[in-house]
Amino acid sequence: MLAYRVMRAFLRLVIRVFYRQVEVVGAEHIPQDGPVIFAGNHPNSLIDPVMIVATAGRFVHFAAKDVLFRSRLLRVFLDALGAVPIKRRQDHGADDAGGQVDNSAAFDALFEVLARGGTMGIFPEGISHDASQLSRLKTGAARIALAMAKRHPELPVRIVPCGLNFIHRRHFRSRVLVQYGPPIEIDAERIAAHDADERAAARALTDDIDQAIRALTVNAPDWSTLRVLDGVRRLYQPPRIPLAHRVELARRFATVYERVRDEPEVVGLFGRVKSYLERLTDLGISDGDLSRPPRPGAALLGGLRQLWWLFVWLPLAAPGVILHAPIGILVGWSSQRFTPRKDVIGTTKLLVGVLMVLLIYAGLITTAALTWGLAVALATAAALPLSGFATIRVLERTASLRRLLTRVVRAFSLRREMAELKSERAALEEAVLDAVERHIPDDMQPLYPERLAAR
């Protein structure tokens, strides 16, 4: 338990550094006692369980594919987190042979965790992926829950759905929304159905889990469709909305689009938004450049503010840039060189970055202790993370200043093109609001209804 608490605190620190914003919604749905199975989508490899461990507030044991335990470094990490190795057919050649693998020991370990009133986490998709929607869920989570409820009818077994929504999931200092939904309880009716037909009951429960996870995530047939729908979302929303509202709007547009995609009006609007976004890309501008164009006075004040904070952080960041720049270069290179799949890039960046920082910090602190004594070593241990934080702040302020200058330059150099696009955007905004009024389901309350009422 102590190792888990230490590791969880460390992981919370890591994700707070790696991500600019981590927002948690629905934590009140997590039962504070009794057996719980966390079941989530799996878009970002090993970062996904890290997110749940760091935000769930309970000791979560994850079922992890056994091949991960072959790495000594990962094994130490996984053991500290109480992970349980589980065999997958595709990792042991059983898929091609049509055979099975023996996971009885793994299931017994998970049953023991749940029987003690503990929690476990599982990703029913089975493997991390970079698709634009959920894969077909496997029945493992449902089978564990049903078997556990049958073994221990005195315990309330619940499945808590998790939605992991990453904004630019491969980017350092991006944002992530972690959502927990209402728990699915394994009641007497489900147990009776399991007694009658185990396979059908497991599939029915899996379908319920699928719907619960979809209610917390954004799903579309392909990335091209998702990009256009994200453009529709920006045309509808007011400026600067919370991350949770951004994801919820995107989810709603994706859900309703699947129902009305063949309507002639929707087909035409989809094509217009797609053409609008393509022209933005061709000109190198964003929708925000049109919806929130830089005003000279505001741009000047914003630039001065960024410069002020840049100079505030620069003295602390100066040694940090020299130290951390090679780490950043190595992380960027390794994430492209050693990651065959896009969904693993974020994990590679995080693992390589953490490993390099720990090694360099340990080396410098040890050198300071051996050369100048304990007092200097302690001062070095305090100065290194402070300098690293200052480096991040300087890089962020520099990026913000560069974006501001770029927006100002484009606003002047592309005046004619941007004027045309502003007119097109205004027309598209009206068309989107019309479509929302016409096609929003009766049982769906609109987000930002004032956008519709003000017309």
Rounded Cα distance between 161 and 157, Å, is 13
With a CB cutoff of 8 Å and minimum separation 6, the contacts of 187 are none
Q: Check pLDDT > 80 for residue 1.
A: no
- C-beta separation of 138 from 126 below 8 A: yes
- Strands 174-180 and 158-167, by their bridges, are antiparallel
C-alpha span between 186 and 191 (Å, rounded):
7
pLDDT > 60? residue 63: yes
Could you report the per-residue pLDDT of 329-365, keeping only the tens digit for each? 889 888 888 787 889 999 999 999 999 999 999 999 9
Q: Quote the pLDDT of residue 238.
A: 93
Decide: helix, strand or coil at residue 221.
coil
Quick check: 316 pLDDT over 70? yes
pLDDT tens digits, 200-231: 999 999 999 999 999 999 999 999 999 999 99
Buried b (16+ CB within 10 A) or exposed e, 258-272: eeeeeeeebeebbeb
pLDDT for residue 95 is more than 60 = no
Give the per-residue pLDDT at 106. 82
Q: Strand 158-167 to strand 184-185: parallel, antiparallel, or no bridges (unpaired)?
A: antiparallel
User: How many CB atoms within 10 Å of residue 301?
Assistant: 11
Identify the weakest region by mean pLDDT among 66-80, 141-155, 259-273.
Answer: 66-80
**Is the full-model pTM beyond 0.75?**
yes
CATH superfamily of 2-214: Glycerol-3-phosphate (1)-acyltransferase (3.40.1130.10)
Residue in this structure with the two tokens 């989530």, named with its chain if needed: 40
C-alpha span between 116 and 35 (Å, rounded): 7
Half-sphere exposure of 309 (CA within 13 A, CB side): 17
Residue, of 214 and 106, whose pLDDT is higher: 214
Alpha-carbon dihedral angle through residues 239, 243, 246, 248, given to the nearest 10 degrees: -150
Q: Identity (one letter) of the amino acid at 352?
A: V
More confident residue, 392 or 453: 392
The per-residue pLDDT for range 239-250, each reduced to its tens digit, is: 889 999 999 999
Least confident range of 98-102, 305-309, 315-319, 324-328 = 98-102
Residue 296: per-residue pLDDT: 79
Q: In the structure, what pLDDT confidence band is assigned to residue 104 with cuts at 50, 70 and 90?
A: confident
Rounded Cα distance between 194 and 190, Å, is: 6
Q: What is the pLDDT of residue 302?
A: 86
Confidence band for 94, pLDDT divided at 50, 70 and 90? low
Name the percent of the chain lying above pLDDT 70: 98
Whole-number pLDDT of residue 225: 98
pLDDT, average across residues 26-34: 97
Which pLDDT belongs to residue 245?
97
* Least confident among 302-306, 338-342, 367-371: 338-342
C-alpha–C-alpha distance, residues 232 and 277, integer Å = 10
Range with the poorest average pLDDT among 226-240, 377-391, 402-416: 402-416
Token pair in block for residue 194 = 């399991």
In the predicted model, what is the mean pLDDT of the chain?
Answer: 92
For residue 146, name the pLDDT band (cuts at 50, 70, 90): very high
- Taking residues 70-75, what's their average pLDDT? 83
Residue 201, CB half-sphere, CA atoms under 13 Å: how many? 20
**Which residues in the chain are classed under CATH 3.40.1130.10?**
2-214
Tell me: pLDDT of 105 over 90: no
Instruction: Return the residue matching tokens 């594919």.
Output: 65
Confidence of residue 270 (pLDDT cuts 50, 70, 90): very high
